[in-house]
Amino acid sequence: MNEHGLSAATTDHQVVLPFDNSYARLPERFFARCNPAAPAAPATVQFNRALATELGLPELGRGQVAEVFSGRQVPHDAEPIALAYAGHQFGHLVPQLGDGRAVLLGEVVGRDGVRRDVQLKGAGATPFSRAGDGRCPLGPAMREYLVSEAMYAMGVPTSRSLALVTTGERVLRETHLPGAVLTRVARGHVRVGTFEYFAVRGDVEALRVLADYVIQRHGLAQGYDENPYLELLREVVRRQADLIARWMNLGFVHGVMNTDNTTLVGETLDYGPCAFLDHYDPGARFSFVDQGGRYRYENQPAVAHWNLMRLAETLLPLIDTDQDAAIEQAQDAVGSFKALYERNRLQGMRRKLGLFREDQEDAALVEELLALLERQQVDFTRFFRRLGDIAGEPNADASVRALFTDPGDWEPWSQRWRARLQRDDGHSMERMGAMHRVNPAVIPRNHSVNAAIRAAEQHGDLQPFQQLLARVTQPFANHPDDADGARPPEPKERVLRTFCGT
């Protein structure tokens, strides 16, 4: 038995997984071939069998899961590689980053026909580790598992978590912590930073190969024979505008929006220091390393736009041989982000407010509400959930009014919202159901995530993690017997800073 009370894995047979590794067939300068490190005594904490079924993976026992998804046994047909990329980190270009603690085992084509990467995070040092140990503590791996699966359940494009395995080893950070490996599944790991890696080296040929690969693999810009690279940029802009709007409408703060964490497929990637708003605060930041607040909640749309400009710069030689013409076209493509984002954000907020059709006053209604929530420091998630509860009951505002320190401040906006509902389509029960399908009852509350991590790290108790995972993967369900799972933190429980575990 290991420190978490789980039997270490043993197996006599090599596992065969249905890998087909297109990225490993690209030129060698795109990656480094390296095997994951073999941990001492891997043990399975969590395995996402539903996701494994979607991926078409064979049935695996807990021992096999621990062996394969810790890196101790490299499956047949895997071609382990660490990807090369650069990135702007907090606005400063680092010409070479790369997978310093992750190894891409390979790609699988799921039952839906979609190709996805299977990557081990925390699998040991790679040629890109820059003197790091390549390891991952259990806590950050637990956070990513919980939040990525919750985000998926809430309809946000995201990488997903397939397996969480302890290594039986300790990882030295500020203190010695239990080590873990997280298996991350994503539609792709090509980032803005991947393009920057070749752009900073003046490798136009590699940029073209990379862009063609993304277009072919992900179906982006296919059919645009005249200028597929410009259309690629436009599609990435559209996807980022949709993604960031979804983050904002859930009160999600990513925390480390570097260009090496911005994917071309528009999925949320890297959940290191992420957190959710409790009370509504546009200036909220949680990441310990974000001292200047560059990636605070309210700044996420502007940062996404900035990151897209960095991508556009790398694509200029592909968009047009005339640099001035290329710049003009790229600026036009990236310039569409703000309007796309604002449209997506407003559409999402209409759904949260129970509005079925558009009205020219909606934007003002939303802005007045957000100002009210900020002024009164109202819990973001709980407010919208309760708003759905009262959508069909004109005289049932007490549960929402109780969220405000000054209930009188709520009344004017409430009256405007009621009047807006009267001008809208739909019946009250239909409206409440629609609102409850977009306003979660349960999110991975920061204090709940931290409590689960502490229980595992300090006492080897995985039950709080498993209970929280069960809750957050059913975010829109009411849990009448589990009111504690949805509650905001007490003042002493508030999480002010988060850490990524590197």
Query: DSSP for 448-476?
Result: HHHHHHHHHHHH---HHHHHHHHHHTSTT
DSSP string, 43-58: EEEEE-HHHHHHTTPP
State the pLDDT confidence band at 482, using cuts at 50, 70 and 90: low
Q: How many CB atoms lie within 10 A of CB 497?
A: 12
Domain spans in the chain, listed from the N-terminal domain onward: 23-189, 193-345
DSSP state of 135: B
- pTM attached to this predicted model: 0.94
Name the pLDDT band for 173 (thresholds 50, 70, 90): confident
Helix or strand holding residue 317 (H, E): helix 300-319
State mean pLDDT over 184-205. Answer: 98
For residue 412, pLDDT over 80 is answered with yes
As to burial, measured by CB atoms within 10 angstroms (0-12 exposed, 13-18 middle, 19+ buried), residue 26 is: middle
Q: How many CA atoms lie within 13 A of 109 on its CB side?
A: 6
pLDDT score at 454: 94
Note the pLDDT of residue 483: 59
Would you name the residues annotated as active-site residues? 260
Write a three-state SS string for 180-238. Answer: EEEEEEECCCCEHHHHHHHHCCCCHHHHHHHHHHHHHHHCCCCCCCCCHHHHHHHHHHH
**Is it the case that residue 3 has pLDDT exceeding 90?**
no
Model confidence at 6: pLDDT above 60: no
Q: Residue 315 — pLDDT band, cuts 50, 70, 90?
A: very high
383 falls in which pLDDT band (50, 70, 90)? very high
pLDDT of residue 174: 78
Beta bridge partners of 44: 165
Residue 7 has pLDDT above 60, yes or no: no
pLDDT of 72 above 90: yes
Average pLDDT in the chain: 93
Is residue 100's pLDDT more than 50?
yes
Confidence grade of residue 440 (pLDDT, cut at 50, 70, 90): very high
The four Cα atoms 118, 124, 125, 131 give a dihedral, to 10 degrees, of 130
> For 42-46, 193-197, 253-257, 494-498, which range has the lowest pLDDT when averaged over its residues?
494-498
Give me 95's structure tokens.
């010409």
Task: Quote the percentage of the chain above a pLDDT of 70.
Answer: 95
* DSSP 8-state class, residue 356: -
pLDDT at 496: 86
Confidence at residue 9, expressed as pLDDT on a 0 to 100 scale: 38
Identify the weakest region by mean pLDDT among 47-61, 82-96, 284-298, 387-401.
Answer: 387-401
Residue 220: which pLDDT band, with cuts at 50, 70 and 90?
confident
| Range with lowest mean pLDDT among 2-11, 404-413, 425-434 | 2-11
Does the pLDDT at position 4 exceed 60? no
